[in-house]
Each structure stands twice: as structure tokens, then as C-alpha cells.
């Protein structure tokens, strides 16, 4: 994420952050100024932003000039009428990530840099093909996580209201609420319907947890990264330095269920593991690339294995893709989520906001992972029952040899450590 004077760029955010409260980004709506746009001016402002920045220069094969003429020919007596037209206009792009937010919705989605959120702790998106609301991942140790919500769950109803045709902004408004209140989610998973009654809460997220692990491969550093928040890179640096001082032989970085977050958090963290090479390329509609590269300041060169699954999205895919393509890490687990688009979030004149897809990103080997995700080097599948037992019912097994994906990671890193030792001996 890049904060500029004019906009907030969610370079690697997987989804609408449906439960996050906003207070401290320092973005103040221009609607607080003396000047306020008329409803028609607001419609035109949105059209102009899309015209200038949208990643697809064909606008989904839509005559975007004709769209402007159509919607500016209408009369608007209040902001709500303009909001309705703006949403109709944006639907023509068929892009769930390009979306309009009224002032309340915009306030609800902005990221609080303190890492505190209010809600149930899930990130959601709208499936581009089915238009269904899908859970990207529950955030670890939040109410949704503890209730048993899983990545790729389809949300059929919110408090009994059918979500068919509902966009993520509407879902956000229904899912959010005061701490202590409850929300009911009807979920479809593998053809079965389940209901979850979840109590909302205020949640403080610490993105990094780490420990030493005594394993058959030796003394390993285990780092669990839950989210790429503003303080993630600082906490990652602390974890690596602490584990280096304990002379671990190698590292297992756990990105399972990590839905993403801030683009430059992922870049900063990649630089801690990678001394040289490209990390990620962002490509705009003119085909112009902006590359982020390593800066020669890696904190360790010891063997690294990364754990990924279908809940690893966006910034997680940037990090794992960068380290995989540069042959710095071996990926173990299952195929990742597949979200490779970049959004810019703009405050509008009346306090509302607009998220617009402005670019896509590719891995260093020029892989476009959008909709496909990243394939692990070593595949280890878990059934939904295994995942639920591991992450909810039997958490003491997580990151132990009773965790099948972790156990395979230990096996893989053991061979890497042995190979590195042999290479050193030959020198």
C-alpha cells in the first residue's frame, strides 16, 4: 500500500477488508472542505478516474465515452441517486475489485495502521465468474476463525438475507457491527450448507509469531505471518534477528491462511530473505512496468521453506512467488488463492470513496498468477476436515510433526541443510 497526497494504493490487498475499522491513515475526505461536489459532479469525478486509470483500456469492451454521456444526461436530486448511478456504471466493467463506497462504507474499509479491527475477522471477495461472495481467509484467532469459517467458503446469507447479487460493500455493511453483537452467516462448503452465529469483537492483530523448533532436521526457526499489516515488516525483522542469534539451521515461514495486505510490506519482507533479484513487477494498461528489486540487505541466507495454501493470497503470493522464482525458497502445501491485481483507493469530494483496478502484478519470472495462484514445489493436500481439526480443534498439533504440511517442510529443509553443508565442506 502506498499513501500519497491524492490516493491510497492497495497494491496487494486480496479483498474488501470487511471487518476493518478506520482511524489513523491520515486520509481525510475532501468533503470536509468548504467545497462539496454536486451529485452530477461526483458521477463525473468517478468516470474521470476510471477513464484515466483503469487497467483495461477497452473498459471491458464498453464504450466508456457513451457511458459518460448516458449518466451525465440524468438529473440527480440527492447523493443517493448519484451513488446508485455510479454503481450501475461500474458494474459495466465486470470487475469486483473496482467499486464505489458511500461515506460510511469508505470509512469502514480503510486500514487502521495500529493493526486493530472491529468485526468478526474475515476477508471476502466476489467471485468474478459466479458473482458469489467468497471468504478469502479468516484472520487467525479472530471470532470467525474460532467459529470454524474456512477459506473458499461461499457466503449464501448474512443474518438471513440472501447474498445473491450482493456486492462486497453491501456485505461489509451487514457483517460489521458493534463489538459484542452477533451476526449469522450461512455458508456453503463442498455442497453442504452450514450456519455460523458469530459474536463481533474488537481485535488487535500481531502479524508475526515465531519460535525455535527442535526437529529431525535440526534446530529450525519457525515464523508464522498472519497478515501484511503496517507493522509486519518490523516484527519480521525482529523475529529473524532473534532466531539468527540462536543459530538456527534454517527457517520455515508459514503463510497459510494469510490473505495479504500492504504491497510494500511484502516487498520489505522479501528483501529480508533475498539479496538480489526482482521481487515483483506491476504493469499498467500501457504495459509500462515498475519493478521492485532486492537491495543486498538480506538478514539471512540459510535454507528456507514456505508453507502456503488456498488461503494464501495477494501479498502472500508476491512474497512466495518472489522467493520461489529466485530459487531462494521451496514452497510446500497447496495452490494459492490467485489474486494479482492492484487497486488504487481514492477519497471523493463528499466523503465517499472509489477503489479502481489500476495494474496487475507479475512474479519475477513474468508469471501472471491472477485467478490461478502459485503452485507449490511440493504438494501436500489436506482435507477440509483435516484443516479444521488442525487449525481449530487440535491447535497444539499445528507446526509440529503431526501437522502433515509442516512435517513435509521439515523433511524438505533437512535435505536443503544437508546439501548446503556438503557444498560448504567441498569448499
> How large is the C-alpha radius of gyration of the chain?
22
For 41, the 3-state DSSP assignment is: helix
**For residue range 267-286, what is the model confidence (pLDDT) as tens digits?**
999 999 999 999 999 999 99
Give the cell for residue 243.
Answer: 532466531
Is a pLDDT exceeding 70 seen at residue 419? yes
| Cβ neighbours of residue 42 closer than 8 Å, sequence gap 6 or more | 79, 82, 86, 348, 349, 350, 352
Catalytic residue among 153, 254, 268, 325, which? 325
Dihedral sign for Cα 290, 295, 301, 307, please. negative
**pLDDT given at position 422:** 65
**pLDDT given at position 30:** 38
**pLDDT given at position 230:** 84
Residue with cell 525482529: 238
Asked whether 253 and 136 are in contact (CB, 8 A), the reply is no
**pLDDT given at position 90:** 97
Question: Whose CA is closest to 409, among 270, 242, 256?
Answer: 256
Verify whether residue 325 is a known catalytic residue.
Answer: yes
**For residue range 86-112, what is the model confidence (pLDDT) as tens digits?**
999 999 999 988 999 998 888 766 644
Helix and strand counts by DSSP (H, E) for the chain: 11, 23
**pLDDT given at position 393:** 74
What share of the chain in percent tops pLDDT 70? 88
Is a pLDDT exceeding 60 seen at residue 349? yes
Asked whether 110 and 104 are in contact (CB, 8 A), the reply is no
Verify whether residue 339 is a known catalytic residue.
Answer: yes
Is a pLDDT exceeding 90 seen at residue 141? no
Give 295-311 as a 3 state SS string. CCCCCCCCCEEEEECCC
Strand partners, 187: 155, 194
Range name among 112-121, 215-224, 360-369 with the lowest pLDDT average? 112-121
Provide CATH code, domain 208-345+354-421.
Answer: 3.90.226.10
For the chain, domain boundaries: 39-95, 118-204, 208-345+354-421
Is a pLDDT exceeding 60 seen at residue 330? yes
Is a pLDDT exceeding 70 seen at residue 16? no
Burial state string for 116-131 with b = 16 or more CB within 10 A and e = fewer than 16: ebbbbbbbbbbeeeee
Asked whether 98 and 355 are in contact (CB, 8 A), the reply is yes
Confidence band, pLDDT 50/70/90 cuts, at residue 6: very low
**For residue range 191-201, what is the model confidence (pLDDT) as tens digits?**
999 999 999 99
Asked whether 392 and 150 are in contact (CB, 8 A), the reply is no
Give the cell for residue 86.
Answer: 455510479
Distance CA 263, CA 2 (A): 8
pLDDT greater at residue 287 or residue 32: 287
**pLDDT given at position 387:** 84
Is a pLDDT exceeding 70 seen at residue 358? yes
Question: Whose CA is closest to 336, among 385, 372, 282, 390?
Answer: 372
Range name among 27-36, 60-69, 335-344 with the lowest pLDDT average? 27-36
Confidence band, pLDDT 50/70/90 cuts, at residue 291: very high
How much of the chain is helix, strand and coil, in % rounded to 5?
A: 30, 25, 40
Dihedral sign for Cα 91, 96, 99, 102, please. positive
User: What kind of fold does domain 39-95 have according to CATH?
Assistant: Transcription Regulator spoIIAA (3.30.750)
Asked whether 158 and 185 are in contact (CB, 8 A), the reply is yes
Residue with cell 455493511: 173
Is a pLDDT exceeding 90 seen at residue 374? yes
Residue with cell 499498467: 284
Asked whether 97 and 357 are in contact (CB, 8 A), the reply is yes
Strand partners, 332: 307, 378
Verify whether residue 91 is a known catalytic residue.
Answer: no
Catalytic residue among 339, 360, 408, 416, which? 339
Is a pLDDT exceeding 90 seen at residue 305? yes
Asked whether 115 and 205 are in contact (CB, 8 A), the reply is yes
Is a pLDDT exceeding 60 seen at residue 208? yes
**pLDDT given at position 424:** 60
φ and ψ of 238, to 5 deg: -60, -45
| Mean pLDDT of the chain, nearest integer | 86
Distance of CA 367 to the CA centre of its chain: 18
User: What kind of fold does domain 118-204 have according to CATH?
Assistant: Pdz3 Domain (2.30.42)
Distance CA 245, CA 267 (A): 24
112: alpha, beta or left, given left = phi > 0 and alpha = psi -120 to 50? beta
pLDDT greater at residue 421 or residue 138: 138
Mean pLDDT of all residues in 48-77 = 96
Catalytic residue among 18, 229, 266, 314, which? 314
Q: What is the pTM of this model?
A: 0.77
Amino acid at each position: 500500500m502506498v499513501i500519497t497526497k491524492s490516493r491510497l494504493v492497495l497494491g496487494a490487498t486480496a479483498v474488501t477488508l470487511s471487518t476493518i475499522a478506520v482511524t489513523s491513515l491520515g486520509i481525510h475526505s475532501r468533503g470536509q472542505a468548504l467545497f462539496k461536489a454536486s451529485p452530477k459532479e461526483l458521477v463525473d469525478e468517478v468516470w474521470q478516474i476510471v477513464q484515466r486509470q483503469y487497467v483495461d483500456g477497452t473498459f471491458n469492451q464498453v464504450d466508456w465515452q457513451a457511458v459518460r454521456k448516458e449518466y451525465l444526461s440524468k438529473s440527480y436530486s440527492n447523493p443517493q441517486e448519484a451513488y446508485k448511478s455510479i454503481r450501475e456504471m461500474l458494474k459495466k466493467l465486470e470487475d469486483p475489485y473496482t467499486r464505489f463506497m458511500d461515506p460510511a462504507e469508505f470509512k469502514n474499509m480503510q486500514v487502521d495502521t495500529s493493526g486493530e479491527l472491529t468485526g468478526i475477522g474475515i476477508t471476502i471477495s466476489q467471485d468474478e465468474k459466479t458473482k458469489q461472495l467468497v471468504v478469502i481467509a479468516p484472520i487467525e484467532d479472530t471470532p470467525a476463525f474460532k467459529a470454524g469459517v474456512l477459506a473458499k467458503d461461499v457466503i449464501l446469507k448474512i443474518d438471513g438475507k440472501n447474498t445473491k447479487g450482493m456486492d462486497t460493500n453491501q456485505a461489509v455493511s451487514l457483517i460489521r457491527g458493534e463489538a459484542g453483537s452477533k451476526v449469522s452467516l450461512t455458508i456453503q462448503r463442498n455442497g453442504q450448507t452450514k450456519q455460523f452465529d458469530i459474536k463481533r469483537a474488537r481485535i488487535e492483530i500481531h502479524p508475526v509469531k515465531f519460535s525455535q523448533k527442535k526437529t529431525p532436521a535440526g534446530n529450525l526457526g519457525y515464523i508464522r505471518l498472519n497478515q501484511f499489516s503496517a507493522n509486519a515488516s518490523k516484527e519480521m525483522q525482529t523475529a529473524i534477528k532473534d532466531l539468527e542469534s540462536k543459530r538456527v539451521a534454517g527457517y520455515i515461514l508459514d503463510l497459510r491462511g494469510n490473505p495479504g495486505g500492504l504491497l510494500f510490506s511484502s516487498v520489505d519482507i522479501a528483501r529480508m530473505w533475498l539479496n538480489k533479484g526482482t521481487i515483483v513487477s506491476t504493469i499498467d494498461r500501457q504495459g509500462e512496468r515498475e519493478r521492485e528489486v532486492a537491495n543486498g540487505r538480506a538478514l539471512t541466507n540459510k535454507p528456507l521453506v514456505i508453507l502456503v495454501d488456498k488461503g494464501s493470497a495477494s501479498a502472500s503470493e508476491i512474497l512466495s512467488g518472489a522467493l520461489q522464482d529466485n530459487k531462494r525458497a521451496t514452497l510446500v502445501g497447496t495452490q494459492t488463492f490467485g489474486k494479482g491485481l492492484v487497486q488504487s483507493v481514492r477519497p471523493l469530494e463528499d466523503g465517499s470513496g472509489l477503489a479502481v483496478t489500476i495494474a496487475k502484478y507479475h512474479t519475477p519470472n513474468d508469471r501472471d498468477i491472477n485467478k490461478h495462484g502459485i503452485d507449490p514445489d511440493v504438494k501436500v493436500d489436506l482435507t477440509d476436515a483435516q484443516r479444521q481439526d488442525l487449525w481449530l480443534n487440535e491447535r497444539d498439533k499445528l507446526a509440529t510433526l503431526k501437522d502433515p504440511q509442516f512435517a513435509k517442510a521439515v523433511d524438505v529443509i533437512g535435505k536443503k541443510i544437508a546439501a548446503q553443508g556438503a557444498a560448504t565442506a567441498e569448499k
